[in-house]
Chains A and B, each alone.
Chain A
Amino acid sequence: MTTEQLTDASRPHLLRGVKLKNDQVRKTWVLLAPERYLRLNAISVDILQRCDGVAAFSSVVDDLTKKYGADRALIERDVRGLLVTLLEKRMLGL
């Protein structure tokens, strides 16, 4: 259901109450959300920092494809995977 909601034109953004934090104690980026936090790897941070509610999903993928110099389809699969997970957790808006 949520998978179909995410289209090229979607403008993903973290919902209010969901925040990126560079945790100085754990030396890692974390995503803070109600009652939980997720440790993020560098790629997830790169993805979420681009989800500002302005950039369209397709341009987030384009941008990361350029940065990593990787296959676009592969990047799109990773970005979609993370965003759908966060949609299902009610942490992301489109």
Chain B
Amino acid sequence: MTNASPLAPPSALLAELTYRCPLSCPYCSNPLSMGGRETEMSTQSWQDIFTQAAELGVLHVHFSGGEPASRRDLRELAAHCAGLGLYTNLITSGVGLTRSSLGELAASGLDHVQLSIQDAEKASADWIGGYDGGFAKKMEVAGWIAEEGLPLTVNAVIHRANVERAADMVDLAVRLGARRIEIAHTQYYGWALLNRAHLMPTRAQSEKAYAEVEERRERYKGQIVVDHVAPDYHAKYPKACMSGWGRQSMNVTPQGKVLPCHAAETIPGLEFWNARERRLADIWADSPGFNAFRGSEWMQEPCRSCERREIDFGGCRCQALALAGDAAACDPVCVKSPRHGLIAEIAARDSAEKIEGFIPRRIERDREKSSV
């Protein structure tokens, strides 16, 4: 730690239970290289991590993936967390859940479900997710969630193929009885960065969608809460990525590696520790990867003396690396970055009309065969 204040405990743990997923969304936040089932941690290892997490001060556990319903022990893991007083959230595509498995999860103490949708229109949604029948299945699952009385959040990632219907997705979420919706304009990491030229909307499209979603926020006030993640490349200031590196949350990969965020491993030279080998509390406090960008000592100008440095923490480290070539640089999304002009160039270039064709997310990936 480089700043004087004592390290606060993490409040959230994102448990990437598996990278297996029936869908192949082109903006997936998982890494490009993913381990399969044989590399995944056992039920017992996960339970041990959750026990340590509760002791450490974690409040929310998010079961994520891949598709967490691909794990046969999901109910057991949910029950274990409930017994520890952890708040459990299932982040799911819905595909892989059955009426009875959802009922069992609810009975085990699952607190909340976050269901993804790819679009408000069936044909487009199924095309984006690369899974025929996915949209219909999600609508069915949303009905089951309502029957169980579980609180529902709908999440939707916005990009060129669905940007015209961002506000329709809010309307759909209201019809599904969701209490919350997350409308996240695509953040370009992992598969999304690879597919950026096929995902980037124009500035005009982004701004129109943003305004329409904001209008829905007012219209549905008290009915649904809208969490709106702004389109990075069309922003003036960067997002406070992860509310600051290593400040509030940790991601645990299916193989047990503990990271500050999904994309942290894209930064070369950082050492991350594994929960199969070390105590979670030690990892949170002492892992070199977590400490690399805590506080403000690591910052360069213009961040170091910036009045916003405790607001957005210099933006995103992974994006600084990807776009400025230096993970400690100011996130180029920031208007104060000397490389800010690059963002507009990329956004304009990548939002140009072209024949649509994503590189679908898959576990065993062969770049040569799927070149575009």
Q: How far is the CA of A37 from the CA of B111 in the complex (A)?
A: 13
Near A by CB (< 8 A), chain B positions 170-200 give 179-180
Given A15-B151, A21-B85, A89-B225, A30 and B180 contact (CB-CB distance below 8 Å) = no
Q: How far is the CA of A5 from the CA of B221 in the complex (A)?
A: 13
Q: Is the CB of A25 within 8 A of B111?
A: no
Binds A, one of B25-33, B56-64, B129-137, B260-268: B56-64
Q: Is the CB of B221 within 8 A of A2?
A: yes
B6 within 8 A of A: no
Give the residue of A1, A25, A87 whose beta carbon is less than 8 angstroms from that of B9.
A25
In the assembled complex, which residues on chain B have CB atoms less than 8 Å from the CB atom of A90? 179-180, 222-225
- How many residues of B sit at the interface, in one of the four size bands? 20 to 34
A71 within 8 A of B: no
Q: Is the CB of B225 within 8 A of A16?
A: no
Q: Is the CB of A35 within 8 A of B149?
A: no
Q: How far is the CA of A30 from the CA of B114 in the complex (A)?
A: 22
A17 within 8 A of B: yes
Tell me the dominant secondary structure on chain B's binding face.
loop
Q: Shortest beta-carbon distance, A43 to chain B, in Å? A: 21
In the assembled complex, which residues on chain A have CB atoms less than 8 Å from the CB atom of B222? 1-2, 5, 87-88, 90
Q: Which residue on chain B has the smallest CB distance to residue A22?
A: B85
In the assembled complex, which residues on chain A have CB atoms less than 8 Å from the CB atom of B179? 15, 17, 34, 90
Q: How far is the CA of A76 from the CA of B56 in the complex (A)?
A: 37
A62 within 8 A of B: no
Q: Which residue on chain B has the smallest CB distance to residue A25?
A: B57
Q: How far is the CA of A2 from the CA of B222 in the complex (A)?
A: 6
Q: Is the CB of B150 within 8 A of A35?
A: no
Q: Is the CB of A16 within 8 A of B57?
A: no
A32 within 8 A of B: yes
In the assembled complex, which residues on chain A have CB atoms less than 8 Å from the CB atom of B87? 19, 32, 37
In the assembled complex, which residues on chain A have CB atoms less than 8 Å from the CB atom of B47? none
Q: Which residue on chain B has the smallest CB distance to residue A90?
A: B179
Q: Shortest beta-carbon distance, B244 to chain A, in Å? A: 16
Q: How far is the CA of A59 from the CA of B308 in the complex (A)?
A: 45
A66 within 8 A of B: no
Q: Which residue on chain A has the smallest CB distance to residue B223?
A: A90
A26 within 8 A of B: yes
16 example contacts (A-B, Cβ-Cβ < 8 A) are as follows A2-B222, A5-B222, A17-B112, A18-B151, A25-B9, A25-B56, A26-B57, A32-B60, A34-B89, A34-B112, A34-B114, A35-B60, A35-B114, A37-B59, A89-B225, A90-B224
6 other contacts beyond A16-B149, A88-B221, with CB at 8 A cut-off? A2-B221, A17-B151, A17-B179, A25-B56, A34-B114, A34-B151
Q: Which residues on B are within 8 Å of A, measured CB to CB?
A: 9, 11, 55-57, 59-60, 85, 87, 89, 111-112, 114, 149-151, 153, 179-180, 221-225, 227
